[in-house]
Each structure stands twice: as C-alpha cells, then as structure tokens.
Amino acid sequence: MSYLTNFELIDGKQRGILSIYILHSLKNKPKSGYGLINEIKDITNGTWIPSKGTLYPLLKNLEQEKLIQLKTIEARGKHIYQITNEGNKILESLIRQKQQIVQKFIQFSKLVVEILDKEENDILNMLIKIRINSLEQTSKQREEVKMILEDCLNNLKQLEKK
C-alpha cells in the first residue's frame, strides 16, 4: 500500500518523511535523538515536534536496517548517531526521485486545499500551479522565476499597506 506521505526508495520499502529527514539531517552532521527533535521543532517553527515515543523507535529501526549507526555515547548516555553508506544510498535514491516527491506534495496539498473554503482554494491552487511550473524550468529560467516572484511578493506587500 502506498501512503501519500511515504516514498518508495531503492530498497523497496516505504519510507515516511520523518525517516527521510533523519537521514538527511544525519548526513549534514551526527546528532542525538534530542538534537533531531529540537532541529525539527526549529524548522517547523514549533508547529510539529515529534514525540520521543515516535522518534526513538524509528532511530532503532534505522539502526537495525544499518542506515544509521551509533557514533558515540556521550555523558549521561546521550547516543550520537551518524548516517551509514547504505543510508546515504537510500537518501540519494530519494533525491533522484524528485518528481515523485513533488507529485506527492501536490496531491497532499490538494487535499488540504479541498478542506479550506472556496476563497482560499483559488489562491492555494494558483500557488500550487506556480510551484509546479517553477520546478519545470531550467536553472537559468529559475533565476527569472525568482525575480518574478520577488516582484509579486513586493506587490502583495503594497496591498497590505493600503
């Protein structure tokens, strides 16, 4: 069964966004489970804080699958994890599936838009279309897209002042 917020990677398993983020984060720098929780809290501006009961079993599973490994145990038993070569391969396979990820994000966004009222639907649908279109541009065109969007943002800020 394919879940909207999961992605099938080269190992054939469905991976949720939290598992993928853990691999991504540990690729950047080894850290503890507590460090991961705080990092996610910061990135989401406190709107999502994974519970210890969610994160620590996931770390254990990733370790059993040899996607991450224990680097050190610090004072007071603090476990510091790092990504393994196998974990890097899984993460790289995800990056190669960029279009699949974007499509799942779009489908999820459509569900959210459907729940909201009609006025917001029109604007959110347009934002989704802008996002899709901007991803289809070449890197040279993306610079122009950025300029267009900056102009749009400035125009919206002018509306606030009226």
The number of folded domains in the chain is 2
The CA dihedral of 93, 96, 97, 103, to the nearest 10 degrees, is: 150
Among 62, 81, 96, residue at a domain's last position: 96
Q: Of the candidates 108, 29, 18, which has an alpha carbon nearest to the alpha carbon of residue 56?
A: 18
- Pair (48, 86) in one structural domain: yes
Is 22 within the bounds of a domain? yes
- Whole-model pTM over 0.85: no
With H, G, I as helix, E, B as strand and everything else as coil, classify residue 45.
coil
CA–CA distance, 48 with 156 (Å, rounded to integer): 28
- For 81-111, the pLDDT digits (tens) are 999 999 999 888 877 777 777 777 777 777 7
- For 13-65, the pLDDT digits (tens) are 777 889 989 999 999 999 999 999 999 999 999 999 999 999 999 999 999 99
CA–CA distance, 42 with 21 (Å, rounded to integer): 14
- Both structure tokens of 110: 């459509």
- Pair (34, 108) in one structural domain: no
Are residues 80 and 31 in contact, defined by beta-carbon separation less than 8 angstroms? yes
- Pair (18, 46) in one structural domain: yes
- Pair (62, 35) in one structural domain: yes
Is 1 within the bounds of a domain? no
CA–CA distance, 128 with 106 (Å, rounded to integer): 7
Full domain range(s) for residue 102: 98-161
CA–CA distance, 31 with 39 (Å, rounded to integer): 10
What is the pLDDT averaged over residues 126-131?
Answer: 80
Sorting pLDDT into bands at 50, 70 and 90, what band is 1? Answer: very low
With H, G, I as helix, E, B as strand and everything else as coil, classify residue 121.
helix
